Amino acid sequence: MEFVTVETHGAVALVRLDRPPVNALNAQVADELLEAFTSCQDPAIRAVVVTGRPHFAAGADIKAFKESLDSGARERSANKLVDAIAALENLEKPTIAAVHGFALGGGCELSMGADFRYVAEDARIGQPEILLGIIPGAGGTQRLQRLVGYQKAKELVLTGRHIDAREAHAIGYADKVLPTEAVLETAMADAAEWGTKATVAISAAKRALNAGRLPFDEAMAVEAAEFQRSFSSDDAREGIDAFVAKRDPDFRGT
C-alpha cells in the first residue's frame, strides 16, 4: 500500500495514514484503509489503533473533488470511504483513533468509526462540508449525533465550524485529551492492555451495544444471544476459574 501502513506490536495493529502533507482522503486512500482494516480481522490482532501525523486526516482531497464533479467519481470515492469506516466500526476488537492536528470532514468521519478517540490538545475537529456546498457523505450526519447528541451535531454540521479538543471532550466526541506527544503512546498502551482481555466477550459486548439502535425487545434478544456466546467461551471459563482461584486470568481470545 502506498498511503496506509499496518504495523503489528504484539497483539496490537497500528494503522497509520501517510499521505503528506495533511493525509487528504481520496479513493485510493479509502481502498487502502479498507484493505488495512480487513487485515485486522486476523484473530492474532486483538486491538487496533488508527492514526496519522502531523494531521489525522484533514478531510477529502478537494483538488480531486474539482476534477471529478462531472465524472461521478465523487460518489464512488464517498462510497469507498463508507466501506472503510464500516470495516473499522465492525471489527470485533477494541479500536482507538489517535487524533493529531486536523480531523475534518472525512477525517472526522473516519475517527468516529473507532470505539474511542484520544485527541491531542492542539487538535481541531469538524465537519466543514457545508462550507463547500455539500454535506458529510461517509456517516458524519449519523455517527456524530450518536456521539454528541442531535442538537449539537446539527449545529456543527450546519455551521461547519471547527472545535478544539476541550470542546470535543465536553460534548462527548473525545474520550481523552492528551498532550500531543502522549496521544499515540497512550493509545498503544491502552490497546495493549485491551489485548490481554477476553476478546470473545469484547466482541459480544460491541454487538450488543450496537444493537441499542434497535427496538428494545430486539436489542434484548441480541444481548441474550451474545451473553450465551460469551458464556460458552474458553475465556469465560478462564475468567471464572481465575476469580475463584484468586489469580489473574490468562485470556487467550477464544
Task: Point out the residues that are catalytic.
Answer: 60, 106, 109, 129
Distance CA 78, CA 27 (A): 8
* Chain position carrying cell 464533479: 69
Distance CA 183, CA 177 (A): 8
**DSSP H helical segments within 180-233, as ranges?**
183-194, 199-210, 216-231
Q: What is the pairing mode between strands 95-99 and 116-120?
A: parallel
**85-107 burial by CB neighbour count: b if 16+ within 10 A, else e?**
bebbbebbbbbbbbbbbbbbbbb
Distance CA 86, CA 63 (A): 25
